[in-house]
Structure 1
Amino acid sequence: MKRSLLLRYTLQATSLVSFVLLIANLSYPLGQENVVLQRFSRLDPWLLLSQLRWQQKIPAWSWLPLLTLAFTLLWGRIFCGWLCPFGAFLALTDQIGRAVFKNLTLARTKVLPALQPMRYYWLFFLLIVFVLGSNWVFFLTPFALFSHEIVRFLQGQVPWMLVGITAGTLFLSRLWCSVFCPTGVLLSFAARLRFFRYRIMGSCVQCEKCTAACSVGTAPLSTGVAKEGCLACGNCQRVCPTKAIKWQWSFWRDKNDRLASADDVAATRRQESRRQFFKAAFTVALAAALWKKTVWAAEKALRPPGALPEPEFTAVCNRCGRCVQVCPSNALHSMPITDGLANFETPYIIPRIKRCDLCLACQEVCPTGAIAKVPLEKIRMGRAVINKSRCIAWSEGKSCLICGEQCPVLAIAADEYHRPSVLTDKCAGCGSCENACPVDGEAAIRVFPS
């Protein structure tokens, strides 16, 4: 038992420290750390679902999320309890909360189990929104959310989501992992079929220590078996004074087994069927209503080089922020909520502030394929358009070809009067011309998204 605890702590510490360092050291030019980060992130089954939904193909790395599902079918949510970096961070936060707020033990033991049924309505909601064509909820998956918040912190911004989830964990243990994490909820559903689980084998004295020790409210006290949300952490087994909790084969039965009978379960389900029907109907209505809100978006934005066409880009992007972190020219920004829910936290470029250097590092770090790997000569982010009434070469007859001098793809030519014109078949839409334009205020040459 001590060996398993040491192994779990070692894996969690390694996962957490490695992930934070990989994100913090993500810079151009990219090294081997990007390959490690990509493979680590692709353990999340939601990424595979995203590829199947929008790319209609099975990626070469599909064995990674399938491996996670295989481990879940064997041992339950062992990924969440042993390997997830965000889960490791919240486990550490939970330990701090239990040490500081000892008087909240009763609240944890009552609130967490009571909220367990909510996770399946949440999963139902996520799947409906997913099928209807919106991917903004994938921002809540652990790798994307944790990565995004680390990037915000490194850029001097307040990671509000991380602050809120951390505060909730201090008071109510791993409520996020248990109820709201999309990956955790999906794996909980798969864990209903797991082969091994913790069980009470007959010598229980009803001390409720297992319930108090469980960080996700799935202790086996009430039903005799750990519920599907169990993280396989073993805390319940370690605190049991009579050693009544055992790690057993799921289909094993004993005369002292305290599992409810199939008839009891069926009767309970019949009694609650009407209430569950109305809850499910409400979930569908809410998902459909919020999906319509995702259509609301502001004017099209200038996306990174290689970005998929809108709205496919906003559907596939999981808002992890890695492209923003790796951009050597700091040209990429995250869109605010004022630009629409569909665009929220997706990367875009403001050429007047910073131009894209066309280094294509964003293509290498994107874990979902929202920024596809497109050769430099085929990049068409947008199209530059000259406003002749503002251009001093056209309106005042002055000699100015700064935009042409800064163009990395030689897409701006000059006529016999040294007036610039855009060669649209060559323009990559990088924004170098708009960024360099010497005209005060709005540039005389602007790049519009393609």
Structure 2
Amino acid sequence: MANLDPTPAAPAHREPAAGAAVAPAKASAAPPAGPSAAPAAAPAKEARWAALLGTLRKAGAIVRPAPKRRPGSGLPARKVIQVLVWARRAVQAGCLGLFLYFLFQTGFRGSFASAEARVRLPLPVEGFLLADPFVGAMTLLSTHTVYRGLLWSLGILALTLVFGRVFCGWICPFGTLHHFFGWIFPSRYGKGGKRVEANKTYTRQRVKYYLMYAFLAASATGSVIGGLFDPICVAVRAIGLAVIPAAQYVAAVVTGSAATTGSRPVQLAADHAQDFLAASVWQTKQFYFHHTWFVGILFVAILFMNRFIPRFWCRVLCPLGAFLGVFARFALFGMQKDHAKCTDCNLCLVHCQGADSPQGGVKWRQDECHMCLNCESACPEDVIKFRFLPNRKSALVTPDTGRRTALATAAAGAVIIPTARIADVLDANYDHRVIRPPGSVEEREFLERCIRCAECMKVCPNNAIHPAFFEAGIEGLWTPIVIPRIGYCEHSCVLCGDVCPTGAIQKITEEQKMGVGQKPISIGTAFYDQGRCLPWSMSVPCIVCEEFCPTSPKAIWVEEVDIPKREPVAAEHGKEPPMKMVHVQRPHVDPSLCIGCGACEKVCPVQDKPAVYVTSVGETRSKTNVILLEDTDYNKAS
């Protein structure tokens, strides 16, 4: 494409050729001297250049690009809407960043041996969970009380009553994560007509309401199992237990590869990067979590579904979004349409995040709108306007769910908990592997409060707390349990109760846990498998468990014995090896002093299956899960 400058260049001065005659200048042809000559010649030159450019354009040598304009009448969006759209993007990025920062800071990276008497996290890392209205509603129904910290969720409800589901479109970090993923990996439907079809309202969006009804009904029967689907809980659980440990593992592999390059600068850069990440993102050692592969696969699958249904989780599965949608019907701020102006350009649908029918000719679904304001920003006909106290004639304010289906799902939610509890795992045959963190309330109340958020698992400095799979039954899926073989409970640590947002793990002090002036809190009792214990079964000296026992006086004591042992030498054929007497210390457990911390099981040198193990019997929180029959309520009642 030619690009010609309409201003002509000054003609170059040429010297006459050698030997050429120079004609004398005629007086009549000489231009008038003085500054008045230039203005007289300029219009003629501009006219010639304009004519030349016109000829070139007609011939197609120069193509003037058409200015970009909006379809239809091309009316620009209101300035306030343009500003609010950018403000929403900034708030989304800020809230996601704050959520990730809190998640990274959910951990203690110091040493309890050198730390002060009281170790607390400096930030309210559970803040997003405390502001979750669905969590507050479930715990209210299950416990008939409101945990003090959850009163923050009333602020989100108040915001919803004014602006609608602004939490979903502006604040929710899990929703922003889906929005960001959809931007990085766009939907397979792309743009245009297919995108319009993908963003229309479909009956599948009712599923989240049915899930909400079922989970609220389950809460009324005594279990906040809805935490499995709460978006904030899902985000903490998936990122904290799967994404961050996986990233830590990959970083360790990369750092190890850098160490073998032989390049000193590369090694230093890798070491500095690893030190920075260990100080700000993850712990200094690699963390492993029980069955976390399942959590990670579900998380990836949910994100991948955005390739087929934009904002899949938010539109189809999110019970928190459905809960806020019920309150959004009363919002003071909403959309008002002028259907007569609509030209069916469908730009509003192309940019819609909530699939709430913003296009003309249909009623707007107020309960589905995320208040992203993209529709008004994209509308070229001034059809859509968001305002306070809009005309409700062009809006549907109630969720589009069938009454019978809603009642059926609520009934299913109410029935599933009693059905799960008639199994043998809660009362008749309590699983010895279900060791709850210190400060946990009694098991039934624990299931009434625990939302499976995994904050306690993420904050545990020794990697001792893990998500249960089916050890605690289907109702206890992903509730926290202590697995001492992976990590033991630090004797002076109470961080798990400090970050619990619902009181399933009570906030206790170090003095209460260690038993200063009172009986210490016990989460279980240690037992010995004498057939595997080295001093008992093989006459091999070993007192590692006794050395690591943190209680004072120690719950593990040793018995000094002299016993015979075969000499480790080859004997003659058909003869027994010679014997010798060895002095060993056989360990024993004092159940009155054992707190079930699991330090002995963690350090036991018998690798495949430890010779000392901890079970939940004797835990302080239970009056029935005890060792001696005379201490039970059953015996007292009889």
Distance 1:314 1:422, change over 3 A: same
Distance 1:355 1:118, change over 3 A: closer
Residue 355 (structure 1) shift = 2.1
Give identity over the alignment, percent.
Answer: 29
Question: TM-score, with normalisation over the residues of structure 2?
Answer: 0.62
Question: TM-score, with normalisation over the residues of structure 1?
Answer: 0.85
Deviations 1:292-322 (CA, angstroms, capped at 9, x unpaired): 5644558241222222222433442222223
2:557 aligned to which of 413, 422, 428:
413
Aligned twin of 1:132: 221
1:15 aligned to which of 92, 95, 116:
95
Counterpart code for 1:102: G
Distance 1:408 1:338, change over 3 A: closer
Report matched runs for 1:43-122 at 5 Å. Answer: 43-96=131-184, 98=186, 101-102=189-190, 104-110=194-200, 112-122=201-211
Residues 191 and 228 in structure 1, CA contact (< 8 A), matched pair in contact too? yes
Residue 240 (structure 1) shift = 1.3
| Secondary structure in 1 matching 2:329 | helix
1:306 aligned to which of 434, 439, 451:
439
Is it true that 1:233 corresponds to 2:372 in the alignment?
A: yes
1:210 aligned to which of 342, 345, 348:
348
CA distance in 2, matches of 1:238, 1:367: 38
CA distance in 2, matches of 1:277, 1:57: 29
Report matched runs for 1:2-401 at 5 Å. Answer: 2-29=82-109, 35-96=123-184, 98=186, 101-102=189-190, 104-110=194-200, 112-151=201-240, 152-156=242-246, 159-207=296-344, 208-220=346-358, 221-250=360-389, 252=391, 258=394, 276-288=402-414, 290-292=416-418, 294-295=420-421, 296=423, 297=425, 299-300=431-432, 301-337=434-470, 340-358=473-491, 359-374=493-508, 375-377=512-514, 378-388=520-530, 390-393=532-535, 400-401=542-543
CA distance in 2, matches of 1:222, 1:406: 73
| Secondary structure in 1 matching 2:458 | helix
Residue 214 (structure 1) shift = 1.7
Residues 198 and 226 in structure 1, CA contact (< 8 A), matched pair in contact too? no
Counterpart code for 1:179: V
| Secondary structure in 2 matching 1:155 | helix
CA distance in 1, matches of 2:506, 2:120: 19
CA distance in 1, matches of 2:331, 2:588: 65
Residue 119 (structure 1) shift = 3.4
Distance 1:23 1:277, change over 3 A: closer
Residue 434 (structure 1) shift = 2.3
Aligned twin of 1:430: 597
| Secondary structure in 2 matching 1:197 | strand
Counterpart code for 2:195: T
Counterpart code for 1:138: G
Counterpart code for 1:191: A
CA distance in 2, matches of 1:387, 1:162: 40
Residue 376 (structure 1) shift = 1.8
Distance 1:308 1:64, change over 3 A: same
Counterpart code for 1:212: V
Residues 214 and 410 in structure 2, CA contact (< 8 A), matched pair in contact too? yes
Distance 1:101 1:416, change over 3 A: same
Residues 523 and 596 in structure 2, CA contact (< 8 A), matched pair in contact too? yes
Residues 26 and 34 in structure 1, CA contact (< 8 A), matched pair in contact too? no
| Secondary structure in 2 matching 1:35 | coil
CA distance in 2, matches of 1:390, 1:50: 46
Deviations 1:106-141 (CA, angstroms, capped at 9, x unpaired): 43134x333344433232122112212222221221
CA distance in 1, matches of 2:159, 2:183: 26
| Secondary structure in 1 matching 2:126 | helix
Counterpart code for 1:214: C
Residue 102 (structure 1) shift = 1.5
Distance 1:5 1:427, change over 3 A: same
Deviations 1:329-384 (CA, angstroms, capped at 9, x unpaired): 22222223576322322222222343222322222222222222233223211012
Counterpart code for 1:447: V
Distance 1:258 1:443, change over 3 A: closer
Counterpart code for 1:411: A
Residue 211 (structure 1) shift = 2.9
Residue 62 (structure 1) shift = 3.6
Residues 15 and 83 in structure 1, CA contact (< 8 A), matched pair in contact too? yes
Distance 1:276 1:214, change over 3 A: same
Residues 434 and 447 in structure 1, CA contact (< 8 A), matched pair in contact too? yes
Counterpart code for 2:369: C
Residues 187 and 308 in structure 2, CA contact (< 8 A), matched pair in contact too? no
Which segment is superposed worse, 213-222 or 424-433? 213-222
Deviations 1:243-270 (CA, angstroms, capped at 9, x unpaired): 12112333647xxx5458x9xx9xxx9x
Q: How many residues align?
A: 436
| Secondary structure in 1 matching 2:525 | strand
Can you give the 5+ residue segments of structure 1 that lack an aligned partner in the other structure?
Answer: none
Counterpart code for 2:545: C
Counterpart code for 1:187: L
Structure with greater Cα Rg = 2
Distance 1:107 1:160, change over 3 A: farther
Which segment is superposed worse, 172-181 or 335-344? 335-344
Counterpart code for 2:477: F
Residue 216 (structure 1) shift = 1.6
Residues 335 and 346 in structure 1, CA contact (< 8 A), matched pair in contact too? yes
Residues 199 and 226 in structure 1, CA contact (< 8 A), matched pair in contact too? no
Counterpart code for 1:65: S
Counterpart code for 2:169: G
Residue 32 (structure 1) shift = 8.4
Counterpart code for 1:45: P
Which segment is superposed worse, 389-398 or 36-45? 389-398
